Chains A and B, each alone.
Chain A
Amino acid sequence: MSFSPFRRRLVLGTGLTILLLLPAMASFAGDPYLITLFSRILIYALAAVSLDLIIGYGGMVSLGHAAFVGIGAYVVGILSFHVQDGSLLLSWPFELQASDAALLVWPAAVLISALMAVLIGSVSLRTSGLQFIMITLAFAQMLFYLAVSLEAYGGDDGISIWSRNRLPLVDLSDDSSFYYICLVCLLVFLYLSHRLVFSRFGRVVRGAKQNELRMQSLGFPTYRYKLVCFSIAGAGGGLAGVLIANQNEFVSPGLLHWTHSGELIVMVLLGGMGTLFGPVFGAAALLLMEELLSAYTEHWMVFLGPFLILVVLFAKRGIYGWLSGAGGNHA
């Protein structure tokens, strides 16, 4: 296995430079839409990185990751609905005022997503393989229909958000500021994931993916480790949902739909499963392809399908592995 840290650094450095300079390049090119597009890429990258923690490192193929994205988004949406409405979020058993302060709403949304992940994971992780795929799918679809049935919050039509959350010093309604907040969130989450993957905890999770029975005979209660990993991924998905809600200023049940979970899996596969940075490249590739190809035809998926097959067949670790050489085998 040839390993080229230089090439990897070059690829990552180039990527980071592009992301850092993007708002400037967009205004130079006179195309502010680029900022919106790349904010979206960053947000989906965050969701895909969190999904890769469980799929790529933990071997837990979840087809319900969009549920956590949706939960994060709905927390933002529901709170802003009440702020706009002037009504209380809760009137019983105690009165609770809704808020649109990012420093309150975002951690709450992430926490709720993580708790939901503990709940869903604690049941789903008693199974594995195909059953795990189906049960995570089932949970996500349950939440999808729950969102559809929330008449008070728009049901099928979702919730329009009047203004993005407030953050001290930063104006989130400014698209480039929002872009940089998304970038910070992604980089922070990548750094946390990096620490996690190489920590003792990460080793246990990777070991459980490769040979769970052996881990158990070594004395590791693998279920607990996998559950914690699953809920960390859920938290990451929730944060992505928070950002999506703020970017679109709109949330709808579509966010929780299973096709959305499938899209996240495609991003992970395309970019490189089991690599930290791969999903970022995967998210960029998928959304850019969608953007470019859908200008020519609405059937752009016709091109995506064969492309995905080629990548999976020929690039062992996805686009990122191919770009950085050596298959990016660093974990």
Chain B
Amino acid sequence: MRDLLLETDNLEKRFGAVQASKHLSLQVARGEVHALIGPNGAGKTTVIKQLAGEIMPDAGRILFDGQEITCLPAHRRARLGLARSFQITSIFEQMTVAENIALAVQAHMGHSFRFWRAAANDRQLLEPTESALERVGLEQRSRVPAASLSYGEKRQLEVGMALAGNPKLLLLDEPMAGMGPGGTVKMTELIQRLKGSLTILLVEHDMHAVFSLADRITVLVYGESIAVGTAQHIRSHPEVRRAYLGEEQE
């Protein structure tokens, strides 16, 4: 029996006539990189949002690390060790790179009603900030205002903020979106480095990256999981080829 970190049980979500999640049972094992792929509109981001607690499922259950979290609000899930990065870069442009990450660190350290000590010299913040900066390879850029980072670096920062709380599970929502080839390679390397130190659920359109990174892949079509397996397995799966890969491969 595999050690599951995250499990969804018959998740259902409907937006009007659109069935965004349909009997979705997803299983993510501890320590793996699990990719969630599917054509546009397959409901991938909807799954991420339900897992992160931004929207609530209509039915079904979500289990995280042996605990039911179906009804927990987003910030409680974050405290349990579930972090996400955003498809659209969402950082604090006027703060430095280090400040951005320190804010994320702070979020995991109880309340921030601390009015006196300068946060910039706060040892409790500095050490985890440094380590998150190193993990995403931004340690040289820590004092730069976030606004002046390149697009790819902003994406790295985004991942760094998600890593700041030392999460058990990282939800990466299209980390390569909008990147040039160079950026994609860099991000792939970054995720490769993270592999093993935590569990990752990756939503990504870049098939090359997905096949090189993922231990297992779940294919989503119209909110429904049509196949689960290794890259090898998914590549040769007839239904997947028809529903999805066929459109992508030139």
Contact = CB atoms under 8 A, between A and B. Distances in A.
Q: Answer yes or no: are A and B bound together in one complex.
A: yes
Contacts of B113: 201, 225, 228
Residue from the set B102, B114, B161 with the largest chain A CB neighbour count within 10 Å: B114
Secondary structure of the A contact surface, majority rule = helix
A316 interface: no
A228 B113 CA distance: 9
Given A204-B106, A207-B103, A219-B75, A199 B119 contact: yes
A202 B117 CA distance: 10
Interface in B169-183: none
Interface residues of A, number: 24
Interface in B133-148: none
Interface stretch (B9-17, B25-33, B88-96, B230-238): B88-96
B92 A219 contact: no
A301 B99 CA distance: 42
A204 B119 CA distance: 10
B90 A214 contact: yes
A317 interface: no
B79 to A, nearest CB: 7
Interface string B112-128: 11111111101001000
Contact of B94 (A199, A210, A228): A210
Contacts of B90: 211, 213-214, 217
A199 B75 contact: no
A204 B95 contact: no
A204 B115 contact: no
Nearest to A210: B92
B54 interface: yes
B187 interface: no
Interface string B80-107: 0000101000111111000100111011
B132 to A, nearest CB: 13
What 8 A-B pairs come out closest when comparing CB atoms? Answer: A219-B75, A218-B107, A219-B107, A200-B114, A200-B112, A219-B78, A198-B118, A214-B90
6 contacts: A202-B119, A207-B103, A215-B103, A216-B74, A217-B78, A220-B107
